[in-house]
Structures are given as structure tokens and as C-alpha cells.
Amino acid sequence: MGHPMSPRSEGRLPAATDEPGSPVPALRGRDFLTLGEFTPEELAALLDLALAMKRDWQAGRGGQPLYGKTLALIFEKPSTRTRVSFEVGMQQLGGRVLTLTTRDMQLSRGETIADTARVLSRYVDGIMIRAYSHATVEELADAADVPVINGLTDLYHPCQVMADLLTIREHKGGLAGVTVAYVGDGNNVAHSWLLGAAQFGLRLRVACPEGYEPLPEVVARAQTIARQTGAEITVLRDPVEAVAGADVIYTDVWTSMGQEEEADQRRQVFAPYQVNARLAAHAADDYIFMHCLPAHRGEEVTADVIDGPHSVVFDQAENRLHAQKAILAALLG
């Protein structure tokens, strides 16, 4: 949202809501592009809100704080969880969604991102976008008069990691002192994990093969935040070293969307990084296994681990709904 005092935001009719206003006022009208743009307190407030909203939902309570508001969802890439959880979440908050794919928009015929942002800002109250390039999302956010939410780029997946942190908090009773081992590709999910772990003061060990490490600038940003929060961030090579005594083992696909032509090579490079029973035996006895999904059994994780008693992957998927409802209510409320 580049221009908070745009003409459009003046003179609007107040929305009819059960609970008017943002439940986290400092976040009202802001974008949600990476976990590096917020204070630890703001992110903690979002997680508290997500938990409260989840409890309300489970109890059959919950108002309609976004009654009358509309969220546009723009997809350059496929999605199951992000699409459905944003659509259902917005409906549960009393709002509406428009789901758009870029191939059906004038974007596919050369209309600029900036013009698209300006036009959509005249119709909707917020935009969620899943794009290849992170620069696309930044450009959209700069030109839009409404909050923009990153639903995954090649660099970051912040909504996923908020849901992951909520899941760990539920399964481990809190985040303090938790050790997370991320094993595999230093990709968008790893990048958001670096920033999320830094913000929430976790111990994070990221194990990647040579040439597939997270970007140095993202690691540096995480280290800077970690110095203030007490988080411990390590990037290393050996998956066993990463997993030793860990409370959480996390992995993601070896081949992300857009890298399909590298799949064969990646299967070879990442083979020693498969999360299987032999690797998991090095974790704490009560470790939980996490994966953002979609998963490829037999590649980054074996079926006995992802379908076994330590796996919480479907709790993670559910928590996308609750974490994003909190983000929506805070930004758009």
C-alpha cells in the first residue's frame, strides 16, 4: 500500500462490522510482504489473534469484522491451500473474494503491474498475490492504495511461516527454547523461516547442499534481527548435525514451482537430505515433523515419517486459515 491517504480512502462509508477497526491497530492498512517488516511484538500480536480467532471458530463464535469488504486473490502459479484458506477465511470474516489468474487478466497482454494495482484499488479492499518474482509483489504494493499480502514468491512465503509458528506454539506449548531443523532447499519457505525464527527468538538450523543455500542477504537480515531477539540462526551442510536433538524437523519440496526443468538434477543433489526414519532418529523423542505441502513421498520425505505419529502437516495446513484470518482482520479491519 503505497499511498495510505489516497483519495479513495477518504470519505468512504464506514463498514458495518460486529467488531469495527483492526484488532492490531498498528497493522491497519499495511502490506504483508515479508516477516522482516514487522516488530517481534507486532508478529506476536498476530499469532495471539490467530489463536483467539481459532478458539472462537472452534466454539462456533466469531463476528464478521470484514463485513462488506472484498479481497482480490491473484495467482501466477498454482495453489490449493493458499487459495482455499484465503477464500474460506475471508468468507468467515464476513467478506468476499475475487479469485483471478494472471493468464485471464490484461496482465497477460502487457498491462503493467502498477496500472493493475491502481485499478484494483478502486474496487477492492485488499489484494493477495502469488507471483514468481518478489519484485512483482513489491511493485504491486507500491502502486496499490490497499494492503497487499504475499501469498508466495520465489523469495518468501510469510503466511506459511505464520501458520507454522502457530502450529509449533500449539504442539510445543510455546515458542521459547524451541529448536527447528530445516532440511533441504534454501528456498522461499527457508527464507521466511529464517526471518520468522529470528523475529520469534527460536533456534533454527538450516541444512542445505552446496549451491542451494538460502541467499546470503536473507541470512544476514535474519542474523541482524536475531542479535536483538536472542534467536540462534545457523546455516550448515550436515543434515544430522541440524536435526540432532531438534524439536521440529521441517522440509519442503526439492523442486519449487518454476524449477521443473531442474527436477532430475535436484533429485540427485538432495538425496542425502531426505527426511526418513534414520535421520529423524537424531531428533528429540517428541519431535514434530512439518512440511508446508504439497509433499512428494519418497523424495524429500518418506511416507513413514509424513504419515507417522510425529507428523503435524495437516494441522499446519489448517492453521493457514487461522493465521491468515488474523492477518486479514488486522490489515483490512
| Residue numbers at the binding site for ligand NVA (CB under 6 A) | 152, 187-189, 252-253, 256-257, 292
Minimum distance from residue 78 beta carbon to ligand CP (Å): 7
Cβ-contact 102, 137 below 8 angstroms: no
From residue 218, how far is each of 43, 188, 224, 261 by CA, in Å?
A: 18, 10, 10, 25
The distance of closest approach from Cβ of residue 29 to ligand CP in the complex, given in angstroms and rounded to an integer, is 25
User: Which CB sits closer to ligand NVA, 32 or 144?
Assistant: 32
Give whichever of 128 and 283 is closer to ligand CP, judged by the CB atom: 128
Nearest CA to 27 out of 11, 51, 47 is that of 47
By rule CB under 6 A, what count of residues binds ligand CP?
Answer: 8
Task: Identify the active-site residue in 205, 320, 322, 324.
Answer: 320
Cβ within 8 Å of residue 314, ≥6 positions away: none
Strand partners, 250: 182, 290
Q: Which does 188 bind (CB under 5 to 8 A by kind): ligand NVA, ligand CP, none?
A: ligand NVA
Question: Taking Cα atoms as reference points, which of 115, 169, 113 lies closest to residue 139?
Answer: 113
Distance of closest approach, residue 251 Cβ to ligand NVA, in angstroms: 10
Contact assessment for residue 184 and residue 252, using Cβ atoms and an 8 Å cutoff: yes
> How far is Cα 220 from Cα 31, in angstroms, rounded to an integer?
22
Q: Which of 30, 81, 134, 157 is catalytic?
A: 157
Residue 80 interacting entry, from ligand NVA, ligand CP, none, C-beta within 5 to 8 Å by type: ligand CP
Establish if 22 lies at the interface with ligand CP (CB under 6 A). no
Among 30, 54, 69, 81, binds ligand CP (CB under 6 A): 81
3-state SS assignment for residue 291 = strand
8 Å CB contact between 322 and 169: no
Chain positions 250 to 269 lying near ligand CP, rule: CB under 6 A, are none
Which residue among 30, 130, 191, 205 is the active-site one?
130
C-alpha–C-alpha distance, residues 290 and 316, integer Å: 8
| Cβ nearer to ligand NVA, comparing 38 with 254 | 254
252 is catalytic: yes
The partner in contact with residue 189, picked from ligand NVA, ligand CP, none with C-beta cut-offs of 5 to 8 angstroms by kind, is: ligand NVA
Q: Which of residues 279-308 bind ligand CP (CB under 6 A)?
A: 292-293
- Known active-site residue 227: no
Closer CB to ligand CP, residue 164 or residue 213? 164
Candidates 34, 82, 199, 319; binder of ligand CP (CB under 6 A) is 82
Tell me if residue 3 is catalytic: no
Assess whether 292 carries a catalytic annotation. yes
State the Cα–Cα distance between residues 204 and 233, nearest whole angstrom: 5
- Lookup: cell for 290: 512439518
- Of 252, 274, 322, 324, which is the active-site residue? 252
* CB-nearer residue toward ligand NVA: 88 or 244: 88
Among candidate residues 69, 27, 46, 286, the one with its CA nearest the CA of residue 165 = 46
Report the C-alpha gap between 224 and 230 in whole angstroms: 10
Q: Smallest distance, Å, CB 18 to ligand NVA?
A: 33
CA 22-26-28 angle, to 5 degrees, is 45
Contacts of 198 (CB under 8 A, 6+ apart): 204, 221, 222, 223, 224, 225, 226, 229, 231, 233
- Applying the rule CB under 6 A, the residues between 147 and 186 that interact with ligand CP are 152, 160
Residue in 203, 274, 292, 324 annotated catalytic:
292
Shortest reach from residue 297's CB to ligand NVA, in Å: 16
Q: Which residues have a catalytic role annotated?
A: 130, 157, 160, 252, 292, 320
Give contact residues for ligand CP (rule: CB under 6 A): 79-82, 152, 160, 292-293
